[in-house]
Amino acid sequence: MTTTPDPFPLASRGGLPDDLTLLVSQYPREIWQSHENLGDMATFWLQRHDMFREMGAMLTGAIGDWREGRLEDKAFAGFFVPRLNWYLGNLDGHHNIEDHHYFPVFRKAEPRLVRGFDILDRDHHVIHDALEMNAEAARGFLEGLEQGGDALKRAGEAYATENERLMGFLTRHLEDEEDLIIPVILDQGERKLGVT
Protein backbone atom coordinates (compact mmCIF):
# COMPACT_ATOMS: atom_id res chain seq x y z
CA MET A 1 0.00 0.00 0.00
CA THR A 2 1.40 3.40 -0.94
CA THR A 3 0.86 6.44 1.21
CA THR A 4 0.17 9.87 -0.15
CA PRO A 5 3.00 12.27 0.63
CA ASP A 6 2.16 15.07 3.03
CA PRO A 7 1.69 18.23 0.92
CA PHE A 8 2.61 20.42 3.92
CA PRO A 9 5.33 18.52 5.78
CA LEU A 10 6.21 19.90 9.19
CA ALA A 11 9.95 19.61 8.52
CA SER A 12 9.85 22.08 5.63
CA ARG A 13 6.67 24.10 6.10
CA GLY A 14 7.07 27.85 6.47
CA GLY A 15 3.55 28.44 7.75
CA LEU A 16 -0.02 27.57 6.88
CA PRO A 17 -1.24 27.73 3.28
CA ASP A 18 -2.94 31.02 2.38
CA ASP A 19 -6.45 29.56 2.30
CA LEU A 20 -6.10 28.56 5.97
CA THR A 21 -5.06 32.02 7.16
CA LEU A 22 -8.35 33.71 6.37
CA LEU A 23 -9.32 34.14 10.02
CA VAL A 24 -5.85 35.04 11.28
CA SER A 25 -5.83 37.90 8.79
CA GLN A 26 -9.06 39.15 10.44
CA TYR A 27 -7.74 38.48 13.94
CA PRO A 28 -3.96 39.06 13.88
CA ARG A 29 -1.80 38.15 16.87
CA GLU A 30 -1.46 41.79 17.90
CA ILE A 31 -5.11 41.92 19.01
CA TRP A 32 -5.42 38.51 20.67
CA GLN A 33 -4.64 39.50 24.25
CA SER A 34 -7.05 42.43 24.26
CA HIS A 35 -9.93 40.73 22.41
CA GLU A 36 -13.11 40.25 24.44
CA ASN A 37 -13.52 36.65 23.22
CA LEU A 38 -10.13 35.51 24.49
CA GLY A 39 -11.45 33.54 27.45
CA ASP A 40 -9.97 31.41 30.19
CA MET A 41 -9.55 28.28 28.06
CA ALA A 42 -7.70 30.07 25.26
CA THR A 43 -5.54 31.98 27.74
CA PHE A 44 -4.62 28.74 29.55
CA TRP A 45 -3.94 26.98 26.25
CA LEU A 46 -1.63 29.79 25.06
CA GLN A 47 0.15 29.69 28.43
CA ARG A 48 0.73 25.96 28.00
CA HIS A 49 2.22 26.57 24.57
CA ASP A 50 4.48 29.27 26.03
CA MET A 51 5.50 26.85 28.79
CA PHE A 52 6.48 24.23 26.19
CA ARG A 53 8.53 26.86 24.35
CA GLU A 54 10.23 27.98 27.56
CA MET A 55 10.99 24.45 28.75
CA GLY A 56 12.28 23.51 25.31
CA ALA A 57 14.57 26.54 25.36
CA MET A 58 15.72 25.62 28.88
CA LEU A 59 16.59 22.07 27.79
CA THR A 60 18.36 23.34 24.69
CA GLY A 61 20.27 25.86 26.77
CA ALA A 62 21.33 23.16 29.25
CA ILE A 63 22.61 21.00 26.38
CA GLY A 64 24.60 23.98 25.10
CA ASP A 65 26.02 24.62 28.57
CA TRP A 66 27.06 20.99 28.87
CA ARG A 67 28.62 20.94 25.39
CA GLU A 68 30.60 24.11 26.18
CA GLY A 69 31.80 22.70 29.52
CA ARG A 70 29.81 25.12 31.67
CA LEU A 71 27.94 22.18 33.28
CA GLU A 72 29.63 19.07 34.61
CA ASP A 73 28.26 15.70 33.52
CA LYS A 74 26.54 14.75 36.79
CA ALA A 75 25.12 18.23 37.38
CA PHE A 76 23.78 18.25 33.86
CA ALA A 77 22.16 14.82 34.23
CA GLY A 78 20.57 15.84 37.55
CA PHE A 79 19.11 18.96 35.98
CA PHE A 80 18.21 17.47 32.62
CA VAL A 81 16.59 14.08 33.31
CA PRO A 82 13.56 15.13 35.40
CA ARG A 83 12.85 18.12 33.17
CA LEU A 84 13.08 16.09 29.99
CA ASN A 85 10.76 13.42 31.41
CA TRP A 86 8.26 16.08 32.45
CA TYR A 87 8.50 17.79 29.07
CA LEU A 88 8.01 14.66 26.97
CA GLY A 89 5.12 13.37 29.09
CA ASN A 90 3.26 16.69 29.26
CA LEU A 91 3.67 17.40 25.57
CA ASP A 92 2.29 13.98 24.65
CA GLY A 93 -0.66 14.44 27.03
CA HIS A 94 -1.35 17.92 25.64
CA HIS A 95 -1.52 16.56 22.11
CA ASN A 96 -3.89 13.77 23.15
CA ILE A 97 -6.32 16.31 24.65
CA GLU A 98 -6.15 18.40 21.48
CA ASP A 99 -6.65 15.39 19.19
CA HIS A 100 -9.58 13.89 21.08
CA HIS A 101 -11.35 16.93 22.50
CA TYR A 102 -10.49 20.28 20.96
CA PHE A 103 -9.76 19.49 17.32
CA PRO A 104 -13.15 17.81 16.74
CA VAL A 105 -14.90 20.87 18.23
CA PHE A 106 -12.99 23.29 16.02
CA ARG A 107 -13.42 21.15 12.90
CA LYS A 108 -17.18 21.24 13.38
CA ALA A 109 -17.25 24.95 14.22
CA GLU A 110 -15.25 26.11 11.20
CA PRO A 111 -15.55 23.73 8.22
CA ARG A 112 -13.42 26.04 6.03
CA LEU A 113 -10.42 25.10 8.19
CA VAL A 114 -10.85 21.31 8.28
CA ARG A 115 -7.80 20.80 6.09
CA GLY A 116 -5.80 22.82 8.62
CA PHE A 117 -6.80 20.44 11.39
CA ASP A 118 -5.75 17.55 9.17
CA ILE A 119 -2.34 19.22 8.90
CA LEU A 120 -2.14 19.67 12.68
CA ASP A 121 -3.18 16.05 13.22
CA ARG A 122 -0.38 14.86 10.91
CA ASP A 123 2.00 17.15 12.80
CA HIS A 124 1.08 15.40 16.04
CA HIS A 125 2.08 12.04 14.55
CA VAL A 126 5.38 13.46 13.32
CA ILE A 127 6.03 15.08 16.72
CA HIS A 128 5.09 11.86 18.54
CA ASP A 129 7.68 9.97 16.49
CA ALA A 130 10.22 12.74 17.17
CA LEU A 131 9.43 12.52 20.90
CA GLU A 132 10.16 8.79 20.85
CA MET A 133 13.41 9.35 18.96
CA ASN A 134 14.30 12.13 21.39
CA ALA A 135 13.68 9.85 24.38
CA GLU A 136 15.77 7.08 22.79
CA ALA A 137 18.63 9.48 22.07
CA ALA A 138 18.38 10.82 25.64
CA ARG A 139 18.69 7.27 27.02
CA GLY A 140 21.76 6.76 24.84
CA PHE A 141 23.16 10.03 26.09
CA LEU A 142 22.63 9.07 29.74
CA GLU A 143 24.36 5.75 29.08
CA GLY A 144 27.18 7.72 27.47
CA LEU A 145 27.49 9.77 30.66
CA GLU A 146 28.35 6.53 32.46
CA GLN A 147 30.97 5.56 29.86
CA GLY A 148 32.53 8.95 29.29
CA GLY A 149 35.10 9.70 26.59
CA ASP A 150 34.24 9.35 22.92
CA ALA A 151 31.06 7.38 23.68
CA LEU A 152 29.76 10.34 25.68
CA LYS A 153 30.70 12.81 22.98
CA ARG A 154 28.97 10.79 20.24
CA ALA A 155 25.86 10.24 22.37
CA GLY A 156 25.75 13.92 23.33
CA GLU A 157 25.96 15.03 19.70
CA ALA A 158 23.28 12.51 18.70
CA TYR A 159 20.98 13.79 21.40
CA ALA A 160 21.65 17.44 20.53
CA THR A 161 20.69 16.68 16.91
CA GLU A 162 17.43 15.01 17.97
CA ASN A 163 16.64 17.86 20.33
CA GLU A 164 17.20 20.49 17.62
CA ARG A 165 14.95 18.52 15.28
CA LEU A 166 12.15 18.23 17.85
CA MET A 167 12.36 21.90 18.84
CA GLY A 168 12.20 22.93 15.19
CA PHE A 169 9.07 20.84 14.70
CA LEU A 170 7.46 22.24 17.84
CA THR A 171 8.24 25.86 17.01
CA ARG A 172 6.54 25.60 13.62
CA HIS A 173 3.64 23.48 14.87
CA LEU A 174 2.76 25.64 17.89
CA GLU A 175 2.69 28.79 15.79
CA ASP A 176 0.53 27.22 13.07
CA GLU A 177 -1.81 25.68 15.64
CA GLU A 178 -2.30 29.02 17.36
CA ASP A 179 -2.86 30.80 14.04
CA LEU A 180 -5.61 28.31 13.22
CA ILE A 181 -7.36 27.97 16.59
CA ILE A 182 -7.20 31.35 18.36
CA PRO A 183 -8.90 33.22 15.48
CA VAL A 184 -11.76 30.69 15.56
CA ILE A 185 -12.19 31.33 19.29
CA LEU A 186 -12.08 35.09 18.79
CA ASP A 187 -14.56 34.84 15.94
CA GLN A 188 -17.13 32.68 17.71
CA GLY A 189 -16.39 32.86 21.43
CA GLU A 190 -15.62 30.04 23.85
CA ARG A 191 -19.18 29.71 25.13
CA LYS A 192 -20.64 29.22 21.64
CA LEU A 193 -17.91 26.71 20.82
CA GLY A 194 -18.50 24.85 24.08
CA VAL A 195 -14.86 25.03 25.21
CA THR A 196 -15.18 27.17 28.34
Tell me what pLDDT residue 157 has. 86
Domains in the chain, ordered, with CATH?
Answer: 49-193 (1.20.120)
What does the pLDDT look like over 106-129, one tens digit per residue? Answer: 999 999 999 999 999 999 999 999
- Looking at residue 169, its amino acid is F
pLDDT in tens, 124-148: 999 999 999 999 998 998 888 888 8
Q: What is the pLDDT of residues 172-193, one digit of tens each?
A: 999 999 999 999 999 999 999 9
